[in-house]
Amino acid sequence: MKKMGVGILGATGMVGQRFVSLLEHHPWFEAKWLAASDRSAGKKYGEACHWRLRSPMPASARELEVHECAPGNAPSLIFSSLDSKVAGEIEKEFARAGHVVVSNSSNHRMDPDVPLLIPEVNPDHLALLRIQRKNRGWRGMIVTNPNCTTVGLVMSLAPLERAFGLAKVLMTSMQAVSGAGYPGVPTLDILGNVIPYISGEEEKVERETQKLLGQLVDGRIRSGQFAVSAHCNRVLVEDGHTESISVALRKKATIEELIEAWRGYRSVPQERDLPTAPKHPVVVREEPDRPQPKFDAETEQGMAAVIGRVRPCPVLEFKYTALSHNTLRGAAGAALLNAELMKSEGYLD
């Protein structure tokens, strides 16, 4: 099969680097067109990009020219990891010009006609694209994935919602610095420290969780019928967001049933064997002190939510720890899996 050439907006950033890295050996897609800020445009990617991943920059990317973030002759499928200061307008411009924009940016996530998607959780929300086309008159389209903190939370909640119904969710995050991009968090701010605040993050987690676990009814998303509260903190971790979660459920359940619901959870990406899909979207560990970002963030190539420490909660009903890789499952891998789902549904033809 001939690979489909794709473009990346924001290719020199932390998430953009993850896109370039994940696409190096992707069976369906190939990074052909890279774009970044005006400062980088015109340079070779190898020069423009301050590569910050431990695995080396793919040789195929090194010589690619960095373009401006404008449609022109970009490929039809575009991954976007632009800064939210500029993503809103640029992504619309690409959609208007006929591109399929698979975005990791926050700008359009809560637009009522834009799918906010986790392929294992709400693949049916893709149907919003019909409404989007009608509303906007675009030849292209925009599809989004959630915030890096929302992903791990919702992947841990979806099996519970499906099996028992959710009533209340309270989550405290301990987030990795890579979530703030590069240069991102100054060392002087975080060395030996915790920053108990990430601008806009708690609101995103609360809203996005309810949209993701909502029902598509008559062309609109009816938000999930449960309360969500988020405390977001930054800690001195490179990759992997750790979350302390308490939940109350609608149906009676035992800890064993929760674990069974998580371990047995499979969805469309697993059924269709999409290339970036984890075999086990939710992995439950039994050690008393796991998951830990250092040891578990790379589980299933960084595409699983890893759960541990399941126990009763004296205030809500159950509590546990969840972990997911914030720039893989929480960003570039999420968008890639969205595109794979869309291809499997014929949206990319």
> Known catalytic residues?
148, 241
Q: Which parts of 244-263 interact with a second copy (CB under 8 A)?
A: 244, 246
Cα 107 to Cα 114: distance, rounded to the nearest angstrom: 10
Per-residue DSSP letter, 167: E
| Phi, then psi, of 170 in degrees rounded to 5 | -130, 120
Residue 35: partners with Cβ closer than 8 Å, 6 or more residues away: 7, 8, 9, 10, 11, 41, 66, 67, 68, 69, 70, 74
| Phi, then psi, of 262 in degrees rounded to 5 | -70, -50
One character per residue 283-322, x = contact with a second copy (rule: CB under 8 A): -----xxxxxxxx--x---------xx---xxxx--x-x-
The reply to whether 172 sits near a second copy by the rule CB under 8 A is: yes
Q: State yes or no: cis peptide before 269, omega within 30 of 0.
A: no
Among 229, 254, 264, 271, binds a second copy (CB under 8 A): 229
Among 30, 68, 111, 206, binds a second copy (CB under 8 A): 206
The reply to whether 72 sits near a second copy by the rule CB under 8 A is: no
Q: Provide the phi-psi class of 137: left if phi over 0, else alpha when psi is between -120 and 50, else beta.
A: left
| Phi, then psi, of 79 in degrees rounded to 5 | -95, 135
The reply to whether 191 sits near a second copy by the rule CB under 8 A is: yes
The reply to whether 168 sits near a second copy by the rule CB under 8 A is: yes
Among 41, 216, 236, 268, binds a second copy (CB under 8 A): 236
Q: How far is CA 254 from CA 160, 291, 310, in A?
A: 11, 21, 10
Among 71, 75, 184, 275, binds a second copy (CB under 8 A): 184
The reply to whether 197 sits near a second copy by the rule CB under 8 A is: yes
The reply to whether 124 sits near a second copy by the rule CB under 8 A is: no
Q: How far is the CB of 45 from a second copy (least distance, A)?
A: 16
Residues that bind a second copy (CB under 8 A): 14, 52, 54, 168-170, 172, 174, 177-178, 182-197, 199, 206, 227-229, 231, 233, 235-238, 242, 244, 246, 288-295, 298, 308-309, 313-316, 319, 321
